Every structure is written in structure tokens, then in C-alpha cells.
Amino acid sequence: MESKLIKTTDKLKKEKKLKKKFKLVVILLLLLLLILYFVMGIVYNSGNFSITLDKNLYLDNGIIIYDDFQYKVYRTELLAKAPETFNSIKEIWLPEEIKDYEGGSHNGDSYLVYTFYIENTGDEVAGYTREVIIDDVIKNVDAAIRVRIYKNGEYLTYAKLSSEGEVEPNTVPFIDDEIIMSEDVTNFKPNDIDKYTIVLWIEGEDPDCTDNILGGEFKVRMNFKPIDAE
């Protein structure tokens, strides 16, 4: 009887050990999957690309922003949902019809596209300053980022200077590490509407697009404010 009890106890101990090992393996596998989730793409949890409007543009000039012609109301911010992940792509992969998109998000695989409008609903000629501001950068992912801004069908593409300090091909360099671009728009007449489309991607042909930026993050917003406002 005692011998049988010892055998039963040993069996239970072995089962407990096996269960512990199994739990450990499951935990390790879950950790591995979690690591892969964060490493497989280049940009994760990048949040929303936002467009903000200084309230004084509305209060003084009746200028509003919107992404739906059926919902023209005053608001200070529009949010463009980013793709789940950004992997590097080539510029030539972007659809040619981007400039024809109507308002709202039109994201593709690993790139952001968002169209919106700014309108002068007031009674006087006005103006505004448009600027694109970098809010956060992790792991120098901005070194390979491209920001394309369409205005009424015409576009410019912005990129950070290369690591050698040279302008990337077919781009306009960032103003500095915090501001991508800034420009005044004047003679904005009553009932005028400017259509904007923002395109954001990581350029795979950029020499700075390396494994070093894996898991990086890039948060940016476009701001509209009165001319000469700080």
C-alpha cells in the first residue's frame, strides 16, 4: 500500500512539473508573438494624423474645416485614422487617382491618405497659414518618411534631409526637426474652398530606410492658423 502511495505521489509530482513546463512554454510563445507583433511592421500605434483649426480663423473670418460636404459645421479638429501598420513601400506604388478622392480616409496597405476641405464661409477676403508639425518621433523613423500634400490637385512631397545632409530626390526638405512645412495662403475669398489630401508613407528606396527604424513611431498634424499668429 505504501509503495503504491509513493508511486501515486511521484506521478502527481511529474504531472505538476509537466503542467508548469507547459505553462512556461505557452507564456514564452505568447511573449514571442507579442515581440513579433511589434517588430514585423515599421510603425505601430502611430495613432491619428490630425488636422487642427485655430478657433480665431472661425471667429474672425468664418473659416471652417470638414471632410464631408453634408456636414459643414465648425470644429477645431479632424482625425485621420492611420493604417494598422506602416511597412516600407515605393512611391510608384501609390494610386494615381489619389488627387481625385473625395473627403475622408482612403488608406491603402501601409500608407495613409486623407482628404478634407477648408472653406471661407465669411463675408470678407481672408487668409491663413498652413503648417505641418511633427509631434513625436521614435527611433528616427522620420528619416525615411514622406509627407505629400495635395492642394486643389497639385502636390509637393516633403522629406527630411538625408544623413549626408542632401535633399532627397523629388522632395522639398523639412524646415527643421519640428516643422515639416509652413506657408501663407492669401486672397481666400468668401465661398472659396481649398481641397487638401495628405499622403503619408515610408519610402523603401530611401537609404535611411533600414532595420534601425523597425518599431519606430511618427506622429504629425497639420495646423491652420491666422497669418502671423505664433
Top pLDDT among 127 and 8 is at 127
Q: What does the pLDDT read at residue 35? A: 44
Per-residue pLDDT averaged across 194-205, rounded? Answer: 94
Per-residue pLDDT averaged across 36-46, rounded? Answer: 42
Q: What does the pLDDT read at residue 42? A: 45
Domain ranges for the chain: 1-39, 42-225
pLDDT, tens digit (0-9, with 9 covering 90-100), for 178-195: 999 999 999 999 999 999
pLDDT, tens digit (0-9, with 9 covering 90-100), for 84-97: 777 889 999 999 99
Report whether 67 contacts 115 (CB < 8 A).
yes
Report whether 103 contacts 109 (CB < 8 A).
no
Per-residue pLDDT averaged across 78-105, rounded? Answer: 90
